[in-house]
Amino acid sequence: MPAGANGHMDLAITKDSNDVIVYQNNATDWIAMADLNTGLETQLIEIPFSTNPDIGLHFSGNCYKKPGWVLISTYGAKNPPKGYTHSWMDNLLFMVELEANPKIIKLAKTHSYTAEDPDDVEKNYFAEAFASINSNGTRVIFGSNWGILSPTDYTDAYEVKMPTGWDQ
């Protein structure tokens, strides 16, 4: 595995049927994929930590019947750290094409916040969205507290139905 490939990750399949792992590269601050046969890393998207350092990510590469894509869900505090703003990637579900210079398809805002502020001691772990896409690439399920921060363990389940041809 490439250096830095020790963050959140999942397996996926490229359009040309290569097995890859898609992950947050903690050494480069990029979302990247590595071919499991060759170990070759491809950087996909730079994570905008310079805009908001409070971005957490989860990956779902389950859509093996629609290869070439990975679902990414992000989470963080309702308010960014002092001196920062929210980025385009915050609290978002989006699909990323598994190739260099990928297409990005935004699906939905999650409204899922782990705390009011990044420095809060008590965080809602289960409000991290944890989105998962089905094998056909037609439905996404995720958890969200929809901005309700108290009680701190509050979370509901939501579904996104993907339109036919969403990848075109």
In degrees, rounded to 5, the angle at the alpha carbon of residue 115 between the alpha carbons of residues 128 and 111 is 55
Average pLDDT over residues 61-66: 96
Average pLDDT over residues 83-88: 97
19-25: strand order across its sheet: 9-13, 19-25, 30-35, 41-46
Structure-token pair, residue 116 = 């009011």
Give yes or no for residue 2 having a pLDDT over 90. Answer: no
The full set of domain ranges for the chain reads 9-161
- Residue 124 near residue 48, CB atoms below 8 Å: no
Whole-prediction pTM value? 0.95
Say how many CA atoms lie within 13 Å of 102 toward its Cβ. 25
Q: What is the largest CA-CA distance in the chain?
A: 47
CA–CA gap between residue 60 and residue 98 (Å, rounded): 12
Structure-token pair, residue 102 = 């990928």
Residues 121-168: tens digit of each pLDDT: 888 888 999 999 999 999 999 999 999 988 878 889 999 999 999 998
CA–CA gap between residue 68 and residue 22 (Å, rounded): 11
